[in-house]
């Protein structure tokens, strides 16, 4: 088996512009290790919350997508850590749509210190649309148009 690794975020992310939405919260104690530093696994739910916030902020809650019988399964996840986040730190996660395809949508993220604007991490995720049986399907046209309208 040959595995080809691609370089995520092949273009530099400008963490200060062209973002479609953002969500801010404080780091919870349960997300940290003994030293008070956020464990790398805690970032994944933060990205998920940013995706939910994106849909809500534009009047299309992701819950509506699921109620219609669809889901977005994560097929790729890349994170690059620059500076550790710490307990009780206010963190902002910015999100934008980077690519929309007939069966998939990709997102890019910047995780920032909400007070200073310092970039803590960047990331990207790729998703494929699935039906209730877990089979890949085309994204419904109205949702495809919605995500395409948010592409930056």
- Structurally, the chain folds into a number of domains equal to 1
Does the residue 2 lie in any domain?
no
65 conformational bin, left if phi > 0, alpha if psi -120 to 50, beta if neither: alpha
Does the residue 103 lie in any domain?
yes
Mean pLDDT of 125-129: 98
pLDDT band at 8 (very low <50, low <70, confident <90, very high): low
Does the residue 8 lie in any domain?
no
If 0-12 CB within 10 Å is exposed, 13-18 middle and 19+ buried, where does residue 41 land?
Answer: exposed
pLDDT band at 17 (very low <50, low <70, confident <90, very high): confident
Does the residue 3 lie in any domain?
no
Residue 86 is part of a domain; what is its CATH number?
A: 3.10.129.10
pLDDT tens digits along 51-74: 999 999 999 999 999 999 999 999
Query: What pLDDT is stored for residue 43 in this prediction?
Result: 97
pLDDT tens digits along 19-44: 999 999 999 999 999 999 999 999 99
Query: What pLDDT is stored for residue 18 in this prediction?
Result: 84
Does the residue 15 lie in any domain?
no
Does the residue 128 lie in any domain?
yes
How far apart (Å, rounded) are the C-alpha atoms in residues 47 and 30?
17
- Structural domain boundaries, residue 54: 21-149
**What percent of the chain has pLDDT above 70?**
89
pLDDT tens digits along 86-123: 999 999 999 999 999 999 999 999 999 999 999 999 99
């Amino acid at each position: 088996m040959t595995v080809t690794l691609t370089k995520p975020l092949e273009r530099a992310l400008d963490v200060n512009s062209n973002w479609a939405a953002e969500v801010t919260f404080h780091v919870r104690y349960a997300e940290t290790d003994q030293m008070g530093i956020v464990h790398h696994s805690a970032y994944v739910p933060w990205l998920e919350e940013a995706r939910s916030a994106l849909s809500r902020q534009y009047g299309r809650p992701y819950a509506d997508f699921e109620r219609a019988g669809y889901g977005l399964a994560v097929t790729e996840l890349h994170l690059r850590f620059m500076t550790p986040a710490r307990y009780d730190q206010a963190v902002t996660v910015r999100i934008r749509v980077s690519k929309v395809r007939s069966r998939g949508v990709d997102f890019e993220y910047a995780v920032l210190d909400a007070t200073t604007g310092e970039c803590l991490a960047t990331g990207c995720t790729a998703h494929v649309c699935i039906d209730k049986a877990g089979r890949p399907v085309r994204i419904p046209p109205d949702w495809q148009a919605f995500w395409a309208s948010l592409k930056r």
